[in-house]
Chain A
């Protein structure tokens, strides 16, 4: 396992940065309906944190901590939440994907028209969908990178 990963300096700094990047990713996801960003952008940031770990520690070591099936399941949950919220729109209100939470208690505030500072508790189903898509993108992109990194490490005679 000597050849796996980079120097201890890089590994330590990556370990410190990892939670920060995840927090930033979470911020971008949750403020998707107020500021530039959203589920995909935040998810890509979060996935980049995982990719950083893969580069710093080596794919084999990361795989011991978290298997790609787990990441794939994480992604599946994101997808299930997305479509479940969309189906809830069909059950609770009128149509598939309808924004049934506007005017409700959770995320239901309607901001004043025109320029404003932004209310986090607004947007109806948008923040929930942002979160679902964020989960999907983090899980999906890290799974892809992990699988591809593992595959390029494999011995050639393994074919």
Chain B
């Protein structure tokens, strides 16, 4: 019974996702107002030839700070999990 409910939920979910991309723009022709600005101005605003790097470190550099933070957090988390000692805690 549990499995059957799961299957129904799963199928509904699958159909739902299919519908969601069905209505999206045609593949290969996206709207591009924001990106066109970046492509046109990346060289004179950031001095970088690579527009992706310009987005990663300049236009959306704050996100990159966040993602570097996540990596740092995960490393700290892994080290906490495997730390030595700690038998007598709590």
Assess A/B contact in the complex (Cβ within 8 A): yes
Q: Which residues of A contact B (CB under 8 A)?
A: 32-36, 38-39, 68, 72, 75-76, 78-79, 82-83, 86, 96-97, 99, 102-103, 107-113, 116, 118, 122-126, 129-130, 133, 136-137, 139-141, 143-144, 147-148, 150-151
Question: Do A33 and B68 have beta carbons less than 8 Å apart?
Answer: no
Chain A residues within 8 Å of B56, by CB: 38
Question: Do A33 and B50 have beta carbons less than 8 Å apart?
Answer: yes
Given the complex of chains A and B, what is the CA–CA distance between A122 and B69 in angstroms? Answer: 26
Please judge, given known A-B contacts A99-B58, A136-B68, A140-B71, whether A147 and B47 are in contact too, CB under 8 Å: no
Given the complex of chains A and B, what is the CA–CA distance between A69 and B64 in angstroms? Answer: 24
Chain A residues within 8 Å of B44, by CB: 110, 113
Question: Do B74 and A75 have beta carbons less than 8 Å apart?
Answer: no
Given the complex of chains A and B, what is the CA–CA distance between A141 and B70 in angstroms? Answer: 12
Question: Do A110 and B75 have beta carbons less than 8 Å apart?
Answer: no
Q: Identify 25 residue pairs between A and B in the complex whose beta-carbon atoms are under 8 Å apart, listed by A's number.
A: A33-B54, A34-B49, A34-B50, A36-B52, A38-B50, A38-B52, A38-B57, A76-B72, A79-B72, A82-B65, A99-B46, A110-B43, A110-B44, A122-B47, A122-B48, A123-B48, A125-B57, A125-B58, A126-B47, A133-B64, A136-B71, A136-B72, A140-B72, A143-B75, A144-B74
B1 at the interface (CB under 8 A from A): no
Which of A76, A86, A109, A150 is in CB contact (< 8 Å) with B82? A150
How many residue pairs bridge A and B at CB < 8 Å?
115
Q: Which residues of B contact A (CB under 8 A)?
A: 43-50, 52-54, 56-58, 61-62, 64-65, 68-69, 71-72, 74-76, 78-79, 82
Given the complex of chains A and B, what is the CA–CA distance between A86 and B68 in angstroms? Answer: 13
Given the complex of chains A and B, what is the CA–CA distance between A35 and B50 in angstroms? Answer: 6
- What distance in Å separates the Cβ of B46 from its nearest Cβ neighbour in chain A? 6
User: Which residue, of B46, B62, B68, has the highest number of chain A Cβ atoms within 10 A?
Assistant: B68
- What distance in Å separates the Cβ of A105 from its nearest Cβ neighbour in chain B? 13
Nearest-neighbor residue (CB-CB) of B73 within chain A: A140
Q: What are the 10 closest A-B residue pairs judged by CB atoms, nearest first? A: A33-B48, A123-B48, A122-B47, A97-B61, A140-B75, A151-B82, A129-B57, A110-B47, A140-B71, A126-B57
Given the complex of chains A and B, what is the CA–CA distance between A79 and B72 in angstroms? Answer: 8
